[in-house]
Amino acid sequence: MKRQHSLSDKIPGKVYLWLAILIFGASSAVTRKLTEIGAQNLIGDRNPISLCNVLFVGNLCALLITIPIYWRQWKPAKLRQLSKRDWNSLTIVAILSGALVPGLIFQALAIAPVNNIVLIGRLEPPLTLAFSFWLLRERVTKWETGGAIAAFIGVSLTIILQPPSQTMMSMGSLHLGLGEILTAIAALAAAISTIIGKKYLSHVPLGIYSIFRNALGTIIFFCIALGLYGREHFMDVFSPFLWQWMLVYAAVIVVLGQFFWLQGLRNSTVSTASLIGSFTPIVGIIAAFLVLNEAPNMAQYIGGSLILAGIFISQLGMKRQTARVIASPQLSSTQIEQKIDMGMGFKGL
């Protein structure tokens, strides 16, 4: 074990970070591809790898993998240290980021181009920045403000300039895609969840934070889907074909991706991690092309260019502020997880 630990520490932090970005960035395209594989292997007239099954079973697989890692943090003594406000905050975060956000993203993946979801998902960081300034009174630099404004305009143009499609909703003279709207709502819910986590849950151990969020979020999503679609919607949830794909999916997308990211953070500066993390949308667009043969359209080129410009502007400010800050001494494991959620966007679950 010591030899393995020493070997992992010798690998540069940047290598781990880039591996994590490749995994997280490709998650949306991989999710869509899995549903297409399921459509080619129907059970009766049903797709065994439906988006609801991917979300539900994927979360179960993630829990099966993460519970053995963090079970020691679930000792009664540690649980009793959490206040009623802590549990209430954990519950709200679980509802928002564990059930609502992935549910909306998965529904959007069914009806909208992956590139749109990747780009519009970048609405979360500007919203989180605005809420941090407004509600938490955190200091915001002019670089961060300029970058957030550019990214927000880019997301807006990506939504507004979309070519007409059957899934669009008319609001007067404005036509908006339903999948794009769902992604924007998911970004808002994720930003609110991040703010609640930053204000009330930074002291909660990562094992309790992650497992509670995933477990309760999975239960809530299952109950909502059961009420909306009925029992028949989960008829194939025990299909061996579904589970063999989901075990690989959860192990790679969830556990391996987060391991690479956290390992990279331990051996990198905050500015380096933030810079590499900003390439997530680029990886997502490349993955959509390689995995799904989905090329960007004009709206995505225009909006994506502004979003990338906003990211670049923000990184200038980040580099000036945190070039000498090392991640591990300043941040608790739960705070790092919150930064992952905000910076990575949709990570497959």
Q: Is residue 91 scored above 50 in pLDDT?
A: yes
On whether residue 10 sits in a domain, the answer given is yes
On whether residue 349 sits in a domain, the answer given is no
On whether residue 237 sits in a domain, the answer given is yes
Nearest to 138 by CA among 128, 147, 152: 128
Task: Dump pLDDT digits (tens) for 235-258.
Answer: 888 888 888 888 778 778 777 877
On whether residue 108 sits in a domain, the answer given is yes
The CA-CA-CA angle for residues 142, 148, 149, to 5°, reads 90
Sign of CA dihedral 102, 105, 107, 109: negative
**pLDDT tier at 84 (50, 70, 90 boundaries)?**
very high
Write out the residue range of the structural domain in which residue 51 sits. Answer: 2-344
Task: Dump pLDDT digits (tens) for 7-20.
Answer: 556 777 788 888 98
- Per-residue confidence (pLDDT) for residue 328, from 0 to 100: 44
- Bridge partners of 43? 46
Contacts of 6 (CB under 8 A, 6+ apart): none
- The mean per-residue pLDDT over the stretch 140-147 comes to 82
Q: Are 148 and 133 in contact (CB under 8 A)?
A: no
**pLDDT tier at 176 (50, 70, 90 boundaries)?**
confident
Tokens 């002019």 -> residue: 142
Task: Dump pLDDT digits (tens) for 33-42.
Answer: 988 898 898 8
Question: How far is Cα 133 from Cα 113, in angstroms, rounded to an integer?
Answer: 32
Query: Which H or E element spans position 175?
Result: strand 174-177
On whether residue 126 sits in a domain, the answer given is yes
Whether pTM > 0.85 for this model: the answer is: no
Question: How far is Cα 115 from Cα 307, in angstroms, rounded to an integer?
Answer: 13
Overall number of domains in the chain: 1
Q: Is residue 204 scored above 90 in pLDDT?
A: no
On whether residue 39 sits in a domain, the answer given is yes
Tokens 């529904």 -> residue: 107
